[in-house]
Structure 1
Amino acid sequence: MTSPLPPLPATLPVRRLGPGDLAACSELAVSRDWGAEEHKWRFLFGHGTGWGVDAPDGRGLAATTVLTRYAGGLAAVSMVLVAARYEGRGLGRRIMTHVLGEAGDDTVTLHATDRGRPLYEKLGFREVGTVVTHRGTFRPPATDEPGRAAPRPAGEADLPALLALDAEVFGADRSPLLRDLPRFAERTLVTEEDGRLTGYASAWRNDGTLVVGPVVADTTAGARRLVTAIAHDTEGPVRLDLRTGDPLLHTLPAWAAAHGVLPAFPNALMVLGDRDLPGDDARRHTPFMLALG
């Protein structure tokens, strides 16, 4: 039987990452069978704080994570990666302990893969839901709902109403991210009824895949209309990160699968301690990205 590897030296520091570390972050992600996701890493570094541990052998980064904090006391942890050659030597726990200290008294959330979940549970996280990532070539429905105005491109004049709706639904202020959507996303659409903004959706590219998120809508039917409008003419794969569980409440997964976007892998939505996530889960249909809570 192989003996467990000893923990790495306690003096190995966790340091703040900067733009010069982006290439090393992508390299570590690729080594762990994630995509390079350079567009995503750059956005996260622009709106959150990256933390990392330099590899003792001088070969890039041994571990990474990103902490994104929102006004209102909510924080998301993401991009928790440990180089395979250092796995099982305490780096994941060390970098998570550091970043939780940085989060202070915020309510902390993350999406966990099966690989990372045991560590998060030991640190006090509990599962509050499941989000299943769906991928595939989207086949739009043959007809739209009659009597409904089609989603339209978002304009600058829509921003105040969009920010107000998002803060109500998300339960925290993520306006800096949303103000950055024109630069980051390919497109953003909105729906309205009687002059009132009822929903919006954005779509952005991640290593050749069109990620649809966030999707905020007053009804599931409204979410379907937004997804259809934003993804109907897409070449290549579409990704949707969808809550699952109650088949009567969470109907988007079955609808997405029926239109070619199939379930690929699950993620546990987790919260630290006994706190609840703020906001209105019924109108929050997909996250901006799993990394942002």
Structure 2
Amino acid sequence: MSLYKKSNLNLIQFDKSDIPGLIALSASVGWDYDQYEIATVMSSGKIFGHKNGKGEIVSSSAIIPYDNKLASIGMVIVNKEHRGLGLGKDATQKCIDSVSPDCSIMLIATEEGKPLYEKIGFRTVGHVHKFLCDSYLTPESLKPNSVTIENYNENDFIEILNLDKAAFGDKRSNFLHYRINQSKQCLVAKDTKGNIVGYGLSILGPENLLLGPIVAPDFQTAALLLDWLVIEHTGKLRIDVPSGNKDFMFFLEQCGFKNVAKPPIMMLNSVSLPARNSNLFGIAAQIFG
């Protein structure tokens, strides 16, 4: 039972001056948010949470609204000494209240957090598979196809935005702009006519090179994008793959990835994910849906 009183805590919206405190909160529960990831979250959405009388951050919850009627919640963290006060629920409800009542809200839950979200009204509609890799090896089965892989340039943005919308289920203009700027590498896949048919990002985190989003017309193109993104990286890798991508997940296992978790995707104000075209092979990160 917590020895702290809820009345002594203030629920606020955080700003850039709070980034060090949010990093410390993240580290206290074993998560690896860094200043660049939190800055992208703040640029794309809002982060709420509680501070104690000393100005220390003891809870957080973030929401990223997309262009139409979809938003994503993540970064729900409560300091271990302050659990049992309902801080996570209050911060998450603040996120929900910050968007329109007819906005569908998605999140990817931890097993610990799932009961909380169910009480608020979220329901499980799918899963993602968390893959980690300590040592990547390009498999012999990877064969070049008719696409070419090139570095992204600013003129590609509208085509990428449209591909992402069809794959993810909503347009993510602000988020993609900031995510591409944050990325270590952004690649596009072009067909024989020079049309962009896929793209992939890598984000250098404190522990892993994060891979995603990866959007492609087929798993072979997704595999090529991933291989190009990681080929010169010598550290650990992470990718989160939506269910249904069996061939791509088999490819990952051939490369040395291990499927270490299968967290649920949950929705509020909707009974299903938005319509998608099955071209999403890797999500940006669990906080972004």
Give the TM-score, by structure 1 length.
0.91
Question: 8 Å contact 1:113–1:266 — kept in the other structure?
Answer: no
Question: 8 Å contact 2:63–2:95 — kept in the other structure?
Answer: yes
Give the 3-state SS of the residue equivalent to 1:239 in structure 2.
Answer: strand
Q: Residue 97 and residue 147 in structure 1: after superposition, are their counterparts in 2 closer, same or farther (change >3 A)?
A: closer
Partners of 2:2 and 2:82 lie apart in 1 by 9
Amino acid at match of 1:140: T
Partners of 2:171 and 2:180 lie apart in 1 by 18
Amino acid at match of 2:162: A
Question: 8 Å contact 1:8–1:91 — kept in the other structure?
Answer: no
Q: 1:282 aligns with which of 268, 278, 283?
A: 278
What corresponds to 1:174 in structure 2? 172
What corresponds to 1:38 in structure 2? 35
**Aligned ranges for residues 204-223 of structure 1 at < 5 Å?**
204-223=203-222
User: Where do 4+ consecutive residues of structure 1 move more than 4 Å?
Assistant: 4-7
**Aligned ranges for residues 233-272 of structure 1 at < 5 Å?**
233-244=232-243, 249-272=245-268
Q: 1:142 aligns with which of 140, 143, 160?
A: 140
- Note the alpha carbon deviations across 1:31-51, whole angstroms, 9 max, x for none: 111124222112111111111
Unpaired segments ≥5 residues, structure 1: none
**Is 2:172 the counterpart of 1:154?**
no
Question: 8 Å contact 1:65–1:95 — kept in the other structure?
Answer: yes
- Higher mean Cα deviation, 87-96 or 165-174? 165-174
1:191: Cα distance to partner? 1.0
Q: Residue 36 and residue 73 in structure 1: after superposition, are their counterparts in 2 closer, same or farther (change >3 A)?
A: closer
What corresponds to 2:202 in structure 1? 203
Unpaired segments ≥5 residues, structure 2: none
Partners of 1:181 and 1:256 lie apart in 2 by 23
1:24: Cα distance to partner? 0.6
Amino acid at match of 1:189: L
Amino acid at match of 2:173: S
Count matched residues.
286
- Higher mean Cα deviation, 35-44 or 71-80? 35-44
Partners of 1:204 and 1:260 lie apart in 2 by 19
Give the TM-score, by structure 2 length.
0.92
What corresponds to 1:121 in structure 2? 118
Partners of 2:127 and 2:145 lie apart in 1 by 34
1:135: Cα distance to partner? 1.1
**Aligned ranges for residues 33-112 of structure 1 at < 5 Å?**
33-56=30-53, 58=54, 60-105=56-101, 106-112=103-109
Give the 3-state SS of the residue equivalent to 2:199 in structure 1.
Answer: strand
Partners of 1:34 and 1:9 lie apart in 2 by 24
Q: Residue 60 and residue 6 in structure 1: after superposition, are their counterparts in 2 closer, same or farther (change >3 A)?
A: closer
Partners of 1:104 and 1:8 lie apart in 2 by 31
1:149: Cα distance to partner? 3.1
Partners of 2:87 and 2:56 lie apart in 1 by 15
Give the 3-state SS of the residue equivalent to 1:41 in structure 2.
Answer: helix
Question: 8 Å contact 2:44–2:178 — kept in the other structure?
Answer: no
Q: What percentage of residue pairs aligned between the two structures are identical?
A: 23
Give the 3-state SS of the residue equivalent to 1:50 in structure 2.
Answer: strand
